[in-house]
């Protein structure tokens, strides 16, 4: 079997940008892009679950997330990147060329770029899937702007939730922080900042059990975790900030992961296995933006190209 020069696992902004750069460097990348699912680890990644993206440079009037990803994919294909629409099920990074499997189909590659992304933890409500991008969001930086002057809620009690709640008070008239306990997990400084913010109210010991609205979110139903009593929360936006998980199951025991399961990289996009590079949210729990993922995808393609030049 002739090995591919570069194989890319994952097709969000990081993977597709890596594919564009690798293809233009004549490395004929093969992208294992994932398969259609309702979670963010699908082809195109988390942007497939958003609507308007207004902060990706180059789009003065914004662009729909799925359209942005479809265009990036077409751009990579134009330069010769090839795609397999399936999920990788196994990798062997101890062997050279590296082995990647989709069930029983085996692929070999001299250089590997991992861009499998991360996914937001969700509440698991049926309505949540339907209303994501229509009032329900997992990214305050991306979507806060759409809720100017509106009453919204943030779910969670960690640093992410408090950071998002504080950020969202720039736009919203009121932010209700819904937390399932009466004590926050967030750091003291975040807590102090949120508690001092007059626009933030706390709904303690509450969990969201239902979402109202057909086309757009029109309210949430809360349940008291102690009494079981239900109440309506009149909001047009609900930000779920209960944590993220990187899509790294495939690499456990083969690549160095940090204590939260993200791939450890550096210098640049190098992992601890020579010839394997990682980019995008799978190695970044700080920035998590499409543009930073795309930037690191470009870095990974340049890193793999230089590595191939030196080793092959």
DSSP, collapsed to helix, strand or coil, labels residue 124 as coil
Q: How far apart are CA 83 and CA 103, in angstroms?
A: 16
* Shortest Cβ 258–ligand NAP spacing (Å): 11
Task: Give the side-chain half-sphere CA count within 13 A for 155.
Answer: 28
Query: Is residue 301 involved in binding ligand NAP (CB under 6 A)?
Result: no
**Cβ of residue 79: shortest distance to ligand NAP, in angstroms?**
36
Q: Rounded to 5 degrees, what are φ and ψ at 52?
A: -75, 130
Active site residues: 139, 142-143
Which tokens sit at 168?
A: 């969202």
Q: Which residue is nearest to ligand NAP (CB)?
A: 158
Report the relative pairing of strands 118-120 and 52-53 from DSSP bridges. Answer: unpaired
Q: Which stretch binds ligand NAP (CB under 6 A): 51-59, 177-185, 217-225, 246-254?
A: 177-185
Please identify which residue in 17, 42, 160, 296 interacts with ligand NAP, judged by CB under 6 A. 160
Q: Name which of 128 and 163 has its Cβ closer to ligand NAP.
A: 163
Query: 282 Cβ partners below 8 Å, 6+ apart?
Result: 10, 14, 114, 115, 116, 117, 118, 246, 247, 248, 262, 263
Among the residue ranges 63-71, 79-87, 151-159, 209-217, the one whose residues contact ligand NAP (CB under 6 A): 151-159
Contact of 119 with 142, CB cutoff 8 Å: no
CB of 226 to ligand NAP, least distance (A): 13
Q: Which stretch binds ligand NAP (CB under 6 A): 22-30, 98-106, 152-160, 289-297?
A: 152-160
What SS3 class is residue 270?
strand
The DSSP-derived string for 178-213 is E-SSSS--S-HHHHHHHHT-TTEEEETTEEEEEEE-
- CB distance 252 to 18 below 8 Å: no
Q: Does 156 bind ligand NAP (CB under 6 A)?
A: yes
Q: Write each residue from 218 to 257 as x if it is in contact with ligand NAP (CB under 6 A), else as -, in one continuous string.
A: ------------------------xx--------------
Interface region with ligand NAP, contact rule CB under 6 A, candidates 33-41, 62-70, 94-102, 157-165 = 157-165
Interacting residue ranges for ligand NAP, rule: CB under 6 A: 121, 123, 155-161, 163, 180-181, 185, 207, 242-243
């Amino acid at each position: 079997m002739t090995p591919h020069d570069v194989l890319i696992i994952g097709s969000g902004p990081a993977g597709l940008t890596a594919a564009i750069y690798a293809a233009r460097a004549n490395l004929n990348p093969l992208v294992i892009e994932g398969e259609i699912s309702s979670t963010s680890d699908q082809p195109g990644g988390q942007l497939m679950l958003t609507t308007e993206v207004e902060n990706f440079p180059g789009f003065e009037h914004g662009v729909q997330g799925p359209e942005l990803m479809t265009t990036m994919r077409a751009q990579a294909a134009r330069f010769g990147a090839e795609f397999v629409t399936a999920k990788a099920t196994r990798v062997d990074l101890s062997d050279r060329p590296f082995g990647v499997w989709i069930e029983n189909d085996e692929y070999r590659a001299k250089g590997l770029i991992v861009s499998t992304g991360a996914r937001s933890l969700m509440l698991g409500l049926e309505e949540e899937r339907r209303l994501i991008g229509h009032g329900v969001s997992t990214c305050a930086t991306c979507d806060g702007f759409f809720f100017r002057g509106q009453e919204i809620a943030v779910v969670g009690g960690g640093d992410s939730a408090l950071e998002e709640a504080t950020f969202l008070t720039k736009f919203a008239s009121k932010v209700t922080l819904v937390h399932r306990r009466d004590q926050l997990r967030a750091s003291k400084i975040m807590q102090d900042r949120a508690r001092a913010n007059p626009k933030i109210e706390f709904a303690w010991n509450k969990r969201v059990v239902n979402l109202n609205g057909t086309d757009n979110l029109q309210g949430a139903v809360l349940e008291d975790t102690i009494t079981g009593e239900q109440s309506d929360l009149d909001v047009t936006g609900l930000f779920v900030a209960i944590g993220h998980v990187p899509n790294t199951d495939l690499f456990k025991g083969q690549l160095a992961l940090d204590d939260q399961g993200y791939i450890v990289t550096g210098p640049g996009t190098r992992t601890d296995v020579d010839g394997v590079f990682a980019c995008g949210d799978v190695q970044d729990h700080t920035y998590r933006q499409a543009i930073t993922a795309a930037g690191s995808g470009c870095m990974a393609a340049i890193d793999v190209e230089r590595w191939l030049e030196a080793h092959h």
